[in-house]
Structure 1
Amino acid sequence: MTERKPPGVDFESWVEKQIREAQERGEFDNLPGSGKPLSGLDRPVRENWWLHDYLEREGLSGEALLPVPLRLRKEAEVLRETVGGLRTEAEVRAVVGRLNRAIAEWQRTGTGPVTVVPVDADDVVRDWRAERDSTEPGRTGQPAENGTGHGRSRRRWWRRR
């Protein structure tokens, strides 16, 4: 908008005048999509259509709209499937570490009725090893490499005997 509506002037005539002057200056010429049909008119009307269009246009899933604690709980829920394709224990621990840092950040700043607890990296690694050993042919209970260069699993000091 180039100028403010003068007081006492009919709004509709002022708007029409602004549009006409912009057309005369050629400001509407060569706009993207000019001469093309409007998209989405063939789809049925649905509730929150603008939100669905935004998610589709940006390539996002509906999970992006969840509140932070619910999104973190969802990530923790599907974590075992997420790490299933990883190759080393170090990669698995890195993914779990990133999630646990996000959870810790939420616990420091967030409020609300939804609780989010950190994920035990050792449990995830144990499940990852079991899944990997059962699906890969030729693996018979060999300890998986833990990212340190040797095959022994890292034991916590309180679990050593």
Structure 2
Amino acid sequence: MDIFIKIAEEKIKEAQSKGEFDNLPGKGKPLNLDEDNHVPQELRIAYKILKNSGYIPPEIQAQKEIKSTLDLLKHCTDEREKYKKIQKLNLLITKMNITRKVPVNLEQDQLYYEKIVDKVKIKNKK
């Protein structure tokens, strides 16, 4: 998957250097992120009420929790605590991947490598 991202980045940079993005409509104007063009007309009012009340779809909530756990993991120094956080992270990722209706190659990866390395470190300390 990373190779596709790199290729896309290169293509975007190449197009920018050629000036292909210079005369796009709406250039310099703020994006209207409240547009609901992708939402059917009969659902727009319901979506707006949910959004204004602070409702977050379950997948977005799961992604926020995964990001939060990853941030905590980056700053964790205790081996055992880090191992627990990796277990929690993998569980969150598994739950999210099960509920998503996407191909397997688009699922979020778990942290098996770090989990194994941390497990070996814990055993070596005993």
TM-score, L = length of structure 2: 0.37
Give 1 or 2 for the bigger CA radius of gyration: 1
TM-score, L = length of structure 1: 0.31
Task: Tell me which of the two structures has the higher relative contact order, counting C-alpha pairs closer than 8 angstroms and 6 or more residues apart.
Answer: 2
Whose helix fraction is larger, Structure 1's or Structure 2's?
2
